[in-house]
Structure 1
C-alpha cells in the first residue's frame, strides 16, 4: 500500500491544500498550518521527504512503521503537511526489493527507512549517499550492515536492531513443553537473521538435551507444508522473525493446531494470530525508537554521527486459548509475568 507519492511537496503547496480543506489562507516558507477545533497549530519544520520500504506487509512490521510515523508526528514532522512519505512493500519478493531500492536511491529523498533485513540489504547496496536507517533487524553483523565494532560499513547507514538472546527463548520453550526433545524450526534460508537464529539454536540446544529439526520455507506458500511435515517429528515449534513465516503465520498456526504442537514465536502479533507464546520486543515501541533516529536525520544531523543501536527489552506474550488448541496448558507462574493477549483482545 503506497502511503504517498515520491514527489517533494513545497510548503506553499501544502498550504494551498490546507486552504481547500480547512479554509486557511497564507503561505510560508518555514511553516505549515493546520486547523483544529480550537486554534491554528503551526508546524515549524521544513518540508522533508521520507522513503520507507519493507520486505512484506504483516502486523509486526506494520506496527513498527506506525510507531515510527507517530514518533515523527509528535516531533513536528507530520505526513501530508511537511512530510511526504513514499511507502513501498516488496510483497515478499527479493527482486522487487531490489527494484524499490534502485528507485528510492534515484529519487534522492531526505532519508530512507528499510524495515527488515532483506530490504535493508537491498537499500544499502543501492546508495552510498542517501541517509539509510535500518530497523527490524535481528543480526546486522551477519547482514553485513555493520562490523564487529558496531560501525556501519557505509557512512550513510545507521539503524536499530534487536538481537534476542537465545537462552531466554529456550527457557520459555522448556517451561511450556518441559518434556520436549525436538524443536522444529521453519525458516527462510535467504534471510540472514533466520540463519543466525538457527545457528544459535543448534549451538545452545544440545546442552539442554534438545535437538533442532530445521525445515526451509522459501516462500510464504511453503510454510504450511513445512509445518505439517513436523508432525510426529517435533514436540514444539519455534519461529523467530522470519518474514516468510510471519507473512503466512495463520497457516503455520492452523497446521500446529491439527498436529497439537505448541508454537513459540518472537513477537506479540504472532501470539494474536495463533502462537501459544512469544518473548520479544514491543513492535510499536521499536518503531518509536527508530523514529527518534529518523527525526535526527530529518533535522539535518549527519547520519554518520548517529551510532547503530540495539533494543532488547523483552516482553512475554501468551494466549491460553491458542495453547489449549495446540495441546498444552500455561502455568499460573508463567501467566503472572506475561501479557495475556486473550484478555487484551476482549477489551
Structure 2
C-alpha cells in the first residue's frame, strides 16, 4: 500500500511539474511583452486609482489642447484604469471656479489641475494640502502676487507657463510692420497675466520707437466696442495670451478685418481667429508636460513645493493665411501657416 501511495504521489508530482513547465513556457513566451509594459501597469499594479480634478476656465482651442495633453500624459503613464478625471469648465466665470474647486477639495482628490490663471488663484485659496498644478498660466509671480520670484512657487503649487518670449513678439511686430507708428494693446483688464504681458511688451515697443496705447475691455460685453476704438486709432494691434479675447475672436475679427488693421497675437488660437501672425507654443505639449509633472508627484513621490515652473521648449512663427490674404499682406520666409 505504501508503495502504491508513493507511486501515486510521484505521478502527481510529475504531472504538477509538467504543468508548471507549461506555465513557465507560457510565461517565457510573454516575458518580452511584460518587460516592455510602461510604468502604467506598475503604477496601477496595487489597484491605486488616482482622482484628478480639472478646472478649466473657459472652452477654447488653447485651453482645450492643454487639458487633453495633460490627460493623455497621465493616461499613458498610469493606464486608463489607474486615473479618474473629474473635468469641469467654469465657462469664463470665476465664481464657477470657486464652486468647482471647492467640490474637488470636498471630494479629496489627489491632485488639482488649474487650467488658466483664475482657476489657479482659486485653487491656491481653497487648499494648502492637495497638490495643485497650473497650466496655461503666463506669469505665476503676477498671478499669485509673489514679490521675490525665484522660479518656484513653493507650498503645494507648481506647473507650466504658456509665456512665449515677449521680446521676440515685439521683434515680430517690428519685422512685419516697420513703417507702423501706432500699436494698440487690446486685452482684458480683469486678467492679471494679460496686464503683465502688456506691461512688458509696451516697454520693448516703446524702445523700438512705436507709440503704444492700451485698450482694455472688462468682459465679453465690451469686446466689440473696445476693439473698434483700438482699430480706429492703431496701425497694428497686439493681443496677448488672453482667455477673454480667445473666446471672442470672431467679434474682434468682425472689427479689425473690415478696418484693415492687422493683429499680432500672443498665441495661435487668437491668431487663427482674428490675427495675421503669432509666436506660438504647442498647448497640447504644454499640457502633456504638466501631466508628466503630475505623474512625478503622484507615482514617484516628487515634492511639488520644490518643482520649478516649466516652460514650453519651442516657439514657432506662424501666420493666418486667410487673414493675410484679406489684408493684402505677404509675410517673409520663416513663418509656418496655421493649419485649418
Q: Which category describes the TM-score, using the shorter chain as reference length? A: 0.7 to 0.9
In structure 1, distance between residues paired with 2:320 and 2:308: 37
Q: Check if 1:303 corresponds to 2:315.
A: no
TM-score (norm 1): 0.80
* 1:75 alignment counterpart: 77
What are the Cα deviations for residues 286-344 of structure 1, in whole angstroms up to 9, with x where unaligned?
1111111111122152322433223352111112221122x24123xx3x322212xx3
Q: Tell whether the 8 Å contact from 2:276 to 2:320 is kept in structure 1 after alignment.
A: yes
In structure 1, distance between residues paired with 2:68 and 2:254: 28
Instruction: Give the C-alpha shift of residue 67 in structure 1.
Output: 0.9
In the superposition, relative to structure 1, how do residues 273 and 202 fare at CA in structure 2: closer, same or farther (>3 Å)? Answer: closer
Between Structure 1 and Structure 2, how many residues are aligned? Answer: 297
CA RMSD of aligned residues (A): 2.0
Instruction: Give the C-alpha shift of residue 232 in structure 1.
Output: 2.8
Q: Tell whether the 8 Å contact from 1:68 to 1:289 is kept in structure 2 after alignment.
A: yes
Moved over 4 A (4+): none
In structure 1, distance between residues paired with 2:115 and 2:145: 13
* 2:280 alignment counterpart: 280
In structure 1, distance between residues paired with 2:115 and 2:234: 32
Q: Tell whether the 8 Å contact from 2:268 to 2:280 is kept in structure 1 after alignment.
A: yes
TM-score (norm 2): 0.82
Q: Tell whether the 8 Å contact from 1:186 to 1:223 is kept in structure 2 after alignment.
A: no
Matches within 5 A, 1:151-230: 151-152=152-153, 154-230=154-230
Which structure 2 residue ranges, 5 or more long, are not aligned? 1-36
In structure 1, distance between residues paired with 2:291 and 2:330: 36
* Residue of 54, 57, 75 corresponding to 2:56: 54
Which has more helix, going by share of residues?
2
Q: Check if 1:340 corresponds to 2:340.
A: no
Which structure 1 residue ranges, 5 or more long, are not aligned? 1-39
* 2:130 alignment counterpart: 130
In structure 2, distance between residues paired with 1:338 and 1:99: 42
In structure 2, distance between residues paired with 1:83 and 1:103: 18
